[in-house]
Amino acid sequence: MTEDGAPDGTAAVLFDVDGTLMDTVHLHTVAWWEALRQQDKAVAMTRIQRAIGMGADHLLDALLGEDRDHDGDSALKAAHDAVYGQYWSRLTPLDRAADLLRACADRGLRVVLASSASGPEADVMRQALDADDAIHAMTTADDVEASKPEPDLVHRALEKAGVPPERAVFVGDAVWDVKAALKAGVACVAVLTGGGFSSQELRDAGAREIYDAPCDLLDHFADSAVGKLAAAPATPSRRS
């Protein structure tokens, strides 16, 4: 048994949410663009889109520089949240994303959502996914001190899954997902639905496999790293 009482053979799939399961990256891009514009900070949407997936602190560092005056960060984050909140009622999962979660759960994998979103925003996305029957747990920005590309969120997701890094696969859409997963010792599979990074960039960052979308991963499930994890027996733990 693992420390949380799970069987030794338990394995897990950890899913980023924005851009991986939910079609929300462009909405976040627009919300950050508008928030920055309101404070007379001109940043091209192409730059913003490539920063989506990081926590707000790292995102603002990337867009405005680490040596900026940080006093305005809270106002920028609040402005982003106000704009993005207007879309909450229309947030839409990517094609067959919920089916992918259920395919994982049906094969005995623990599904943990690992989102850089916080509280209410994360709850809204989970409701939109409508796949609670397949979701074992969820971890959000509220659970960690450091956001992606730091590995804290992945570490917390592993804890909630009750599995070691070698018994998990992370699925994300951004270079920041890949970096966070690898820092935590977890293999990463990437999808292109975030739109910010090319296959080559994701592969160069360390992604093991690249798929066009969640539905593409689902169509190739058996041959994927996720499917092979479900089929692979765990190495027996050494007992004293």
Per residue in 192-228, pLDDT (tens digit) is 999 999 999 999 999 999 999 999 999 999 999 999 9
Cα distance from N-terminal residue to C-terminal residue, the chain: 13
pLDDT at 3: 45
Q: Per-residue pLDDT averaged across 51-70, rounded? A: 91
The pLDDT score that the predictor gives to residue 237 is: 42
State yes or no: pLDDT of 65 exceeds 50: yes
Which among 40, 144, 56 is positioned nearest to 48, based on CA atoms?
A: 56
Say if residue 101's pLDDT is above 70. Answer: yes
Q: Which residues contact 126 (CB under 8 A, 6 or more apart)?
A: 113, 132, 135, 138
* 118-130 pLDDT tens trace: 889 999 999 999 9
What SS3 state is found at 107? coil
The answer regarding whether domain 11-24+92-231 maps to CATH 3.40.50.1000 reads yes
pTM score: 0.92
* Sheet with 11-15, edge to edge strand ranges: 137-139, 109-114, 11-15, 168-172, 187-191, 209-211
Helices (H), ranges, 107-147: 119-129
Asked if pLDDT for residue 95 goes beyond 60, the answer is yes
* Per-residue model confidence (pLDDT) at position 118: 84
Which pLDDT score, from 0 to 100, does residue 103 have? 98
Summarize pLDDT for 140-156 with one digit per residue, the tens.
988 988 888 899 999 99
Mean pLDDT score of the chain = 92
Indicate the CATH number of 25-90 among 3.40.50, 3.40.1350, 1.10.287, 1.10.150.
Answer: 1.10.150
- Which pLDDT value is given to residue 238? 36
Residue 105 is encoded by which pair of tokens?
Answer: 């759960």
User: Domain limits of the chain?
Assistant: 11-24+92-231, 25-90
Query: In this predicted structure, what is the pLDDT of residue 141?
Result: 87
pLDDT at 234: 62
Query: Which one is predicted more confidently, 120 or 103?
Result: 103
Where does the pLDDT of residue 235 fall: very low under 50, low under 70, confident under 90, or very high at 90 and above? low
Q: Mean per-residue pLDDT for 75-90?
A: 95
Question: Tokens for 92?
Answer: 């839409």
pLDDT, tens digit (0-9, with 9 covering 90-100), for 18-43? 999 999 999 999 999 999 999 999 99
Whether 239 shows a pLDDT value over 50: the answer reads no
For residues 44-51, average pLDDT: 96
